[in-house]
């Protein structure tokens, strides 16, 4: 079954509420967000709001974060200790922080989203918890270290005291390619009792929202987890972690969304384990590299796979798109992520061109001037992608041919289209991702039903109109001439018939 083309809007909850509180000169929580603000974030085109970082953060995690205050100055030059709240991914408890409005505040916020036709997404961090989470004191819920690990692998292990007074060595949560995260404890996901606790926790979360974004989801795959912790864990259970957890939640919440943060070319594998969507980091990397032909190769994947990708040019883990891509490259990149198959992840501040990437340990952001032209561009894209063709249409990747012998600038452009045969609706998207003016011909031979008719091509981005004959477009190809970083989104409409002048005798 095709996945819905969702538009997910990520909000850094603490920072967002802090900014609103300063703007309105009073404390704003999830239960008191003004209607005008809710209307803005639920603008037409947004399907899901992801509140990042609502869970109670680890107190020990905050103590840890205070040691790195000097590293946060680049993002917030006037930072104070009060701005440091600890990492959103060092969970102290899966309870909505009371300072944000608590469980009741979240319930109120969700209800108001629903009234606007928008769903709510929250975080789930399956690989680790904060060092003071209650699971740390459960036997074998956390991976135990060995004698000498504190000395040999001090970045991966820490000393802890159990409730019975026993001193133990426990593992930090980690990605096998990097040292451990010093504010976390590594869950032993091979433990069947822990899995039952995880399912119970997720069921409670599922009663409060419509889906979860699962942090570093591939770390829980049996082969990766066993390889990371070889010598510290026993034989794996017979069922993969996600194949056990996801169906257990869906039994009671059939439409609950699971979105995977995933890397290392494990996207297909994680989708096979039950996820609705997986991060498309490859697309992001290709856009940043500005490698058009690698992008094209990536988009040759089957449509059944692409429909389950979630496309993005920024999120809280990546640099701000406006800073990374610049003003001109931001527009064609936005065109791509909004009009390709699959879901789209947008980040609060992305529309207005924010440039400062915030550490997830702080609660305040600096003031930045909004880039109104970029915001207007995103709003046009959101309005366009509400058309049913992007949900119900068929997608096709076209070839870009040389415009004339010796001109190879066609390689600078991507062209793809959507068609809805029943309604006779068509879209052609052509994007120039380079700094060079480029020409080419889009081979529209796949759309043979264009033959024999005259068509008017309306560019929804700038309102320009062009009349072309179907036979020319399907045989010679549609001629395209794009300025650097320019995009066209053409809507095809039958051209009005030209009236012949009446001849009198």
For the chain, the structural domain boundaries read: 7-130+189-389, 393-494
Cα 79 to Cα 63: distance, rounded to the nearest angstrom: 16
Cα 102 to Cα 429: distance, rounded to the nearest angstrom: 44
Q: Which pLDDT belongs to residue 263?
A: 97
What is the tens place of the pLDDT at every residue in 381-394? 999 999 999 999 99
Cα 247 from chain centre: 23
Please state, in angstroms and as integers, the Cα–Cα distance from residue 454 to each residue in 423, 451, 466, following that order: 17, 8, 11
The residue ranges of the chain whose pLDDT is under 50 are 500-501, 503-505
Q: Which pLDDT belongs to residue 501?
A: 47
Q: Which pLDDT belongs to residue 103?
A: 98
**Taking Cα atoms as reference points, which of 94, 95, 72 lies closest to residue 85?**
72
* HEC sequence for 344-384: EEEECCCCCCCCCCCCCCECCCCCCCCCHHHHHHHHHHHHH
Q: Report helix, strand or coil for 397.
A: strand
**Taking Cα atoms as reference points, which of 391, 357, 368, 385 lies closest to residue 491?**
385
Q: Which pLDDT belongs to residue 505?
A: 43
Q: Which pLDDT belongs to residue 502?
A: 53
Tokens 């538009």, residue located: 7
Looking at 3.40.630.30, 3.40.50.2000, 3.20.20.80, 3.40.50.300, the CATH number of the domain 7-130+189-389 comes to 3.20.20.80
CA torsion angle 110 115 119 123 (round to 10)? -10
Q: Which pLDDT belongs to residue 498?
A: 64
User: Is 283 within 8 Å of 298 (Cβ atoms)?
Assistant: yes
- HSE-CB at 194 with a 13 A cutoff on CA atoms is 23
What is the tens place of the pLDDT at every residue in 470-504? 999 999 999 999 999 999 999 999 988 765 445 44
Q: Which pLDDT belongs to residue 147?
A: 85
What is the percent of the chain with per-residue pLDDT over 90, rounded to a whole number? 94
Q: Which pLDDT belongs to residue 24?
A: 97
Q: Do domains 7-130+189-389 and 393-494 have the same CATH topology?
A: no
Alpha-helical segments (H) within 48-155: 59-66, 69-72, 102-115, 149-152
Could you give the angle at which helices 281-289 and 321-339 cross, rounded to 10 degrees? 120
Q: Which pLDDT belongs to residue 497?
A: 72
Cα 52 from chain centre: 12
* DSSP code of residue 99: G
Which regions of 13-83 does DSSP assign to beta strands (E)? 48-52, 55-57
Q: Which pLDDT belongs to residue 224?
A: 98
From edge to edge, which strands make up the β-sheet containing 413-420? 394-398, 413-420, 425-432, 487-494, 454-459, 465-469
| CATH number at 393-494 | 2.60.40.1180
């Amino acid at each position: 079954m095709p996945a819905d083309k969702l538009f997910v809007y990520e909000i850094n909850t603490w920072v967002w509420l802090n900014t609103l509180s300063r703007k309105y000169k009073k404390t704003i929580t999830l239960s008191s967000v003004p209607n005008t603000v809710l209307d803005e974030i639920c603008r037409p085109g947004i399907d899901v709001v992801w509140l990042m970082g609502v869970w109670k953060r680890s107190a020990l995690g905050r103590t840890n974060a205070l040691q790195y205050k000097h590293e946060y100055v680049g993002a917030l030059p006037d930072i104070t200790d009060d701005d440091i709240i600890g990492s959103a991914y060092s969970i102290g408890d899966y309870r909505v922080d009371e300072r944000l409005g608590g469980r009741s505040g979240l319930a109120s916020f969700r209800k108001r989203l629903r009234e606007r036709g928008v769903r709510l997404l929250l975080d789930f961090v399956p690989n680790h918890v904060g060092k003071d989470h209650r699971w740390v004191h459960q036997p074998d819920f956390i991976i135990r270290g060995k004698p000498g690990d504190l000395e040999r692998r001090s970045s991966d292990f820490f000393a802890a005291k159990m409730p019975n007074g026993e001193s133990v060595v426990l593992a930090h949560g980690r990605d096998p390619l990097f040292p451990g995260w010093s504010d976390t404890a590594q869950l032993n996901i091979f433990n069947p009792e822990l899995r039952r606790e995880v399912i119970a926790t997720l069921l409670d979360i599922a009663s409060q929202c419509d889906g979860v974004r699962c942090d570093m989801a591939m770390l829980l795959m049996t082969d990766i987890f066993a390889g990371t912790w070889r010598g510290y864990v026993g034989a794996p259970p017979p069922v993969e972690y996600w194949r056990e957890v996801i169906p257990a939640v869906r039994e009671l919440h059939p439409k609950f969304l699971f979105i995977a943060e995933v890397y290392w070319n494990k996207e297909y594998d994680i989708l096979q384990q039950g996820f609705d969507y997986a991060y498309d980091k490859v697309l992001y990397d290709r856009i940043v590299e500005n490698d058009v032909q690698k992008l094209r190769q990536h988009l040759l994947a089957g449509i059944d796979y692409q429909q389950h990708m979630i496309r993005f040019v920024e999120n809280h883990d990546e640099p701000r798109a406006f800073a990374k891509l610049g003003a001109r490259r931001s527009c064609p990149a936005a065109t791509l992520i909004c009009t390709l198959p699959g879901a789209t992840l947008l980040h609060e501040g992305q529309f207005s061109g924010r440039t400062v990437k915030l550490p997830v340990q702080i609660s305040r952001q600096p003031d930045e001037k909004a880039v109104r032209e970029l915001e207007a561009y995103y709003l046009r894209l959101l309005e366009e992608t509400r058309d049913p063709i992007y949900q119900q249409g068929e997608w096709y990747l076209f070839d870009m041919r040389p415009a004339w012998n010796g001109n190879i600038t066609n390689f600078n452009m991507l062209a793809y289209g959507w068609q809805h045969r029943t309604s006779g609706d068509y879209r052609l998207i052509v994007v120039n991702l380079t700094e060079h003016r480029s020409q080419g011909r889009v081979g529209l031979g796949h759309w043979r039903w264009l033959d024999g008719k005259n068509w008017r091509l309306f560019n929804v981005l700038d309102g320009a109109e062009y009349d072309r004959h179907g036979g020319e477009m399907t045989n010679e190809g549609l001629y395209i001439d794009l300025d650097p970083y320019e995009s066209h989104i053409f809507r095809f409409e039958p051209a009005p018939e030209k009236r012949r002048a009446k001849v009198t005798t």
